[in-house]
Amino acid sequence: MPISACRQSPGSFDRTVFVVAAGNGVADTGTDGLDLTSELRQLRAAFPAVFPSGQGPHMIVVGGTQQGSTGVDTGFNYSTDGMDIVYAPGRSVQVSASGCNADGTSFAAPAVSNLIARVLAANPNATVAHVTRAFMNAYMVKGYKLPTVSDVTAQLAGNCSYSISPASGSFGATGGSDGVTVTTSAGCSWTAVSNASWIAISHGSSGSGNGTLGYWVDANTGPQRSGTITIAGLTFTVTQAGVIGVTGTWNGTLSMPGANFSGCNAQTISFYLDLTEGSNSNVAGSTSNGRTITSGSRSGDSITVTLSTMFGARGPYVWSWDGANTITGSMPYFCYDLGTGALQAESTETFTVVR
């Protein structure tokens, strides 16, 4: 967009959608030797935000992505704070018939300009505001990818409204799978994108018209959590219960003190606990070195256990939990004759485990 256009009155642009490149990132002192002054940095941050929006002309700001990606290219995209922005490929864009390629948001913006021009040509009676909003809606519904002329025209005609059922899902700590039904008119396209690493779309990540998608929720080893899936621009919320207290498998190390007998050496070995906590805070479980909890309970961050061992009951022992994913504690250490099984020495061994 030429800067001189700003001198015109807003009424001159009733049929104009302004498509503005977001600007490219430049370090304060880059490889090209540029040293941006504070004034230049302020100017860089001001444009294109100073252009009029919603008063006759309407503006779409275009940032750049890598080819074949919806991720923002970190080398681009200044001047976007607090603004609606769409993204188009801005790397290795072919700009001549001879095959010359160029980088920058200046080469991402024409893809949007071309699309908007074709939408305006196909819909001569549409207002600028309606075209711009229809484009933004179609962009969002497509999963933040550039829509087609048909996508925008369908939004413009008001033919594309969407609903999902159910609107949310709830899972236990073990996770699981379920589905969502998308309802819309024939020819209205949509996409679905998970916004949480522990929620995966198993099938139906895009469609046209009515459709369904399936999703999977991973097991949760921590506290209750929630995440979302964006489906046709709508938010589907997944809530998952956390594990109860110290329930889970805890892996770590066990430090054995050794004793002054053959084969009873001081050493640190791999170790784990399998624990289950009930709703009454009682704790049951076992250890990888053959101890079984015969009675256990948790009060706050303290776990009190009595252990069954090959030499009878031992305890109580008090283990410490950090309230999240670490337990430290101790238990009986036995040095015994492998031939006769006779107990030769007994002391205490310590452990640290994480869930």
CATH of the domain at 20: 3.40.50.200
pTM of the model: 0.48
- Examine the domain organization and report whether 204 and 254 are in the same domain: no
Instruction: Provide the residue range defining the domain that includes 334.
Output: 248-354
**Is 210 or 209 the better-scoring residue by pLDDT?**
210
pLDDT tens-digit map of 334-353: 999 989 999 999 999 999 99
Could you give the CA distance from residue 144 to residue 139 in angstroms, rounded to a whole number?
A: 5
Cβ neighbours for 21, distance < 8 A, ≥ 6 positions apart: 48, 61, 62, 104, 105, 106, 108, 109
Q: Which of 156, 177, 206 delimits the end of a domain?
A: 156
Could you tell me if 291 and 205 lie in one domain?
no
What CATH number is associated with residue 224? Answer: 2.60.40.10
- Does residue 225 share a domain with residue 98? no
| Per-residue pLDDT at 231 exceeds 90 | yes
- Give per-residue pLDDT as tens, 235-290: 999 999 988 899 999 999 999 999 999 999 999 999 999 999 998 999 999 999 99
Same domain, 51 and 24: yes
Domain check: are 234 and 256 in the same one? no
Residue (of 264, 228, 237, 286) closest to 347 by Cα position: 264
Angstrom distance (rounded) from CA 212 to CA 276: 37
Token pair, residue 310, equals: 């090959």
What are the angstrom distances between the C-alpha of 307 and each of 6, 51, 71? 81, 73, 53
- Which of 183, 217, 240 marks a domain boundary? 240
- Of 156, 184, 217, the last residue of a domain is 156
Q: How many CB atoms are closer than 10 A to CB 80?
A: 20
pLDDT in tens, 125-173: 677 777 888 888 888 888 888 889 988 888 887 767 889 999 999 999 8
| Number of separate domains in the chain | 3
Shared domain for 68 and 131, answered yes or no, is: yes
Same domain, 143 and 179: no
Run of H or E residues at 65 = strand 58-65
**Strand order across the beta sheet in which 85-89 lies:** 17-21, 58-65, 85-89
pLDDT of res. 69: 61
- 115 & 52 share domain: yes
Distance CA 245, CA 251 (A): 16
Name the residue with higher pLDDT: 165 or 191.
165
Question: Is the same domain home to 266 and 334?
Answer: yes
Whichever domain contains 338, its CATH number is 2.40.160
Mark whether 32 and 150 lie in a shared domain.
Answer: yes
Q: How many CA atoms lie within 13 A of 350 on its CB side?
A: 4
| Integer Cα distance of 175 and 220 in angstroms | 7
- Predicted confidence (pLDDT) per residue in 9-43, tens digit: 444 455 678 888 877 654 444 444 444 444 444 44
Are residue 233 and residue 300 in the same domain, yes or no? no
Token pair in block for residue 340: 């006769």
Report the 10 Å Cβ neighbour count for 24.
20
Same domain, 100 and 186: no
